[in-house]
Structure 1
Amino acid sequence: MDTAENVLGEERKGLSRTPSLLEGLVILAIILTGLVVGQKFIVPLIFSVFIWSLINVLKTKLSLLSIAGKRLPEPVCLVLSILLLLAANLSIYVIVSQQFPALAEAMPRYQEKLNALIIRISQVVPGSEVVDLNELLGRINLWEFATKVGTQVRSLASGLFLMLIYVAFLLAEQRYFRDKLGLLFSGKVERPRILLDRIVRRLNMYLYIKTVISLLTAVLSYAVMAWWGLDFAPFWGLLVFLLNFIPTVGSILAVIFPSLLSFIQYDSPTPILAVVGLLAAIQIIIGNFIEPAMTGRTLNMSPFGLIVSLTFWGMLWGIVGMFLAVPITVCIAIVFSNFDHLKWVSVIIAKDSTLLTDVRKPV
């Protein structure tokens, strides 16, 4: 422990010079420009790192299993992990390819029901006659929304092949990473190794727990929607799974989207109340009890830091940025906490001092 502390302390001495305000602004401008201009290159690369990380987590979990009293060999665990993720990607592809065309075909019918619903509301709610319904209906175009979603899905699918290539090379070269760090830092490998271990450990734990939690939420939500006969329940279940990777906002949207369809689809209030109530209950119970029990202080992000990171990355990269906001911000906090002139960023992001002190503990 003392050795790791001393290495980190000694190697920080040469990095304590505080850059001038002009230097800081220039560096910030360069970074922001690079993030915006290089989005098409950076985003697939980050997703590839996350997939690679998740494969290693699954490999570690599978290595703990034993058959006939014997642990599975590491190569077998690696192959099984890759096959599991490929099966998950295939399932997503099948759901999207089968459900989305049918959903797009049903959009005109839903548009008519939505129009009729708005007219009924305008007749019931006092004072709503002042609303220009023609203008309102012209703005609510479900077909246009479906087209935009389809474009995003096709864009994501087009980058999947490149991400798989990145992942393949990461898996092939991961055994050489420590040697490369030694060459990169002229043999002084302890400090970058410790930092890298912190980042990898927290990132792996976040991805594993968030994937399990999102899968549990999606399965329960799908069961509710399928039981009450909500149209396109597999598609909405997939959407719930993906949206749950976005903290707070994603959970709200995961309830709103299927609930809106229930208002359009059902004529009776009973299934509407059941779908809305049960979906909200699933999110509340899992988000407030099960997930905190599993995560503990894995991330230790303050609510303010969480909102700021969601806003920043969402403005920078849109919905994709909101998916990546938490893991990227945690990595930034870990790295910045080891530089005196950048430590204040980690202090703002962290919920308490646990993040800062934990970073400096040996793995």
Structure 2
Amino acid sequence: MKTAHAVPASAVSRNALVLLAAVAAGAALYWLRGILTPLAMAIFLLIMIDGVKRFIEHRTLLTERWAGIAALVVVILGFLGAIAIIVYGARGFFDQASDDAVLLGPRLDQILADVYRLFGQHSPPTASELIARVDLSRYIAMVARQAQGVVVGAIFVMVYLGFLIASQDGFRRKLVNMFPERAARFEAIDVFQRVRGGVEGYLWVQTVTGAMICAAAWLLMRAVGLQNAEFWTFVIFIVGFIPVLGGAIAGLAPPIFALVQFPGYWPALILLIGLQAILFVVGNMIQPRMQGDNQNIDPVVVLLSLALWGQLWGVVGMFLSTPLAVMAMAILAEFKGTRWMAILLSGDGEPYVDKSGSGETPSVRVKTPRPPDAAEA
């Protein structure tokens, strides 16, 4: 008869403390989501500004100061422009839909009749009957609250971003005081570079592949004759930063609205097949080659991160879910006690590789050069 092995009390206590700390951290993130989500988005924009600044500095004759100003203007205008396009584009879309409501009613009735006939039913309800069962005032109020929340959130993001930019000058002095020894300071800078490199690599890949998808999708929608093709193109680009759900929205929303616009079903079918083909080619052939080692994240982790951060922070959490997973893997891989977590998060079981070949110094799979001021810190 085999005897059971006793688990050391220290291990049980440590695991219990880790579990309690994780639960407490999750509760704090959810409770403080109104404060933390604008801050997280501001940090995200700050990383974008830094990447754009270095891009401009390396490819133009601008100095570091002017490159930083140009990057700041580009990112802020892009952020505010995206919000403006979404708000005004959505308003124009719904205004046009309300103007065409008289023509949409018979088309919706025809679609309902065809769907019911497909399943052997011969007494379908009309569109007006279905709309009468819906509490439109509640949904309109919900949309109004969401729009107000977007505007208020954008204002807080700009405020946080301004303070983060103003505090950058003192960060280097703080780093020196936090890590008096040069070796520890260089190691902290190296960790920061890998975290930043992972986020920037994700942004670069998503931006380039999103532009490819949008260009092909716009040509397809214009060829079919879908109304508001530019609005749908921008929506496809924005939701492309949300893993899993972004592709579903991009591939299904335009065909659904094509069902209502056109008298037949062929335009919607062409859009459905064409958009799915575009997403398949870019997502399975082009994007993996561009990602390389920058996003060595397990697909299951991407899905779980989307669900977790979406539950904690809503839409903002969905947008930031993959960058946060990349950051978590990069940080966890640096400590001996948490490397097993980074291994679970990684896609191939190797969240870090050995730079020197000695097997002593792990580093996350992100290829980022050391900044020029790293040795001066």
Contact 2:33 / 2:312 at 8 angstroms: preserved in 1?
A: no
Conserved in 2, the CA contact under 8 Å of 1:104 and 1:146? Answer: no
Aligned residue in 2 for 1:179: 173
- Aligned counterpart, 1:125: 118
204 and 138 in structure 1: CA distance in 2 versus 1, 3 angstrom threshold: same
The more displaced of 287-296 and 106-115 is 106-115
CA distance in 2, matches of 1:219, 1:248: 20
TM-score scaled to structure 2, two decimals?
A: 0.80
Q: Larger deviation: 29-38 or 203-212?
A: 203-212
For structure 2, the residue ranges without an aligned partner over 5 or more in a row are: 1-10, 355-360, 365-369, 371-377
Q: Which residue, out of 98, 105, 112, partners 2:105?
A: 112
TM-fit CA distance, 1:284: 1.6
Cα displacement (A) at 1:254? 1.0
Out of 212, 217, 221, which is 2:217 matched to?
221
Higher Cα radius of gyration: 2
Choose between structure 1 and 2 for higher RCO, CA contacts under 8 A separated by at least 6 residues. 1
SS of 1:341's equivalent in the other structure is helix
Q: 52-61 vs 274-283, which deviates more? A: 274-283
1:21 & 1:113 partners in 2: Cα distance? 62
1:157 matched to 2:151: yes
Give the length in aligned residue pairs.
344
For 2:167, what is the secondary structure of its paired residue?
helix
Change (3 A) 1:259 1:149: farther
- The alpha-carbon distance between structure 1 residues 256 and 141, as it changes in their structure 2 partners (threshold 3 A), is farther
Match of 2:79 in 1: 89
Choose 325-334 or 176-185, whichever is displaced more: 176-185
Find the aligned partners of 2:254 and 2:244 in 1 and give their Cα distance: 17
Mapped to 2, the partners of 1:28 and 1:123 lie a distance apart of 49
* Equivalence for 2:62: 72
- AA aligned opposite 1:267: P
Distance 1:139 1:210, change over 3 A: farther
CA contact (8 A) 1:103 1:232 kept: yes
Q: Report the counterpart of residue 254 of structure 2 in structure 1.
A: 258
Q: Which letter maps to 2:240?
A: N
- Aligned to 2:149, the other structure's residue is in SS state helix
Deviations 1:245-283 (A, max 9, x none): 012221121111111101111113342233222222221
Moved more, 292-301 or 174-183: 174-183
CA, structure 1 residues 19+207, in 2 after alignment: closer, same or farther (shift >3 Å)? farther
| C-alpha separation in 1, matches of 2:151 and 2:222 | 27
Q: Which structure 1 residue ranges, 5 or more long, are not aligned?
A: 1-16
Aligned to 1:311: 307
The C-alpha deviation readout for 1:164-184, integer Å capped at 9, x for no partner, is 222233233334323312323
SS of residue in 2 equivalent to 1:352:
coil
Q: TM-score, normalised by structure 1?
A: 0.83
Contact 1:113 1:264 in 2 (8 A): no
CA contact (8 A) 1:54 1:208 kept: no
Summarize deviations over 1:294-335 as a string: whole Å, max 9, x none. Answer: 111211011221222122222222332221111111111121
Contact kept? 1:53, 1:204, Cα under 8 Å: yes
Aligned to 1:243: 239
Q: 2:38·2:156 contact (CA, 8 Å) conserved in 1?
A: yes
User: Which letter does structure 1 place at the counterpart of 2:31?
Assistant: V
Letter in 2 for 1:189: R
- The one of 33, 55, 62 aligned to 2:27: 33
Counterpart pick for 2:282 among 286, 291, 299? 286
Confirm or deny: 8 A CA contact 2:33 2:313 kept in the other structure: yes
Q: Does 1:360 align with 2:362?
A: yes
Contact 2:343–2:350 (8 Å) recurs in 1: no
CA distance in 1, matches of 2:271, 2:246: 18
Q: Distance in 2 between matches of 1:63 and 1:243?
A: 30
Matches within 5 A, 1:186-201: 186-187=180-181, 188-201=184-197
Task: Report the Cα distance in structure 2 between the residues aligned to 1:136 and 1:264, rounded to whole angstroms.
Answer: 16
Aligned equivalent of 1:13: none
Contact 1:63–1:74 (CA<8 Å) still a contact in 2? Answer: yes
Q: CA RMSD in A?
A: 3.0
Kindly tell me: are residues 87 and 318 of structure 1, through their superposed partners in 2, closer, same or farther at Cα, counting changes over 3 Å? closer
Once the two structures are superposed, the pairs formed by residues 318-337 of structure 1 within 5 Å of their partners are 318-337=314-333
Aligned counterpart, 1:5: none
- Determine which structure has the larger helix proportion and give its number: 1
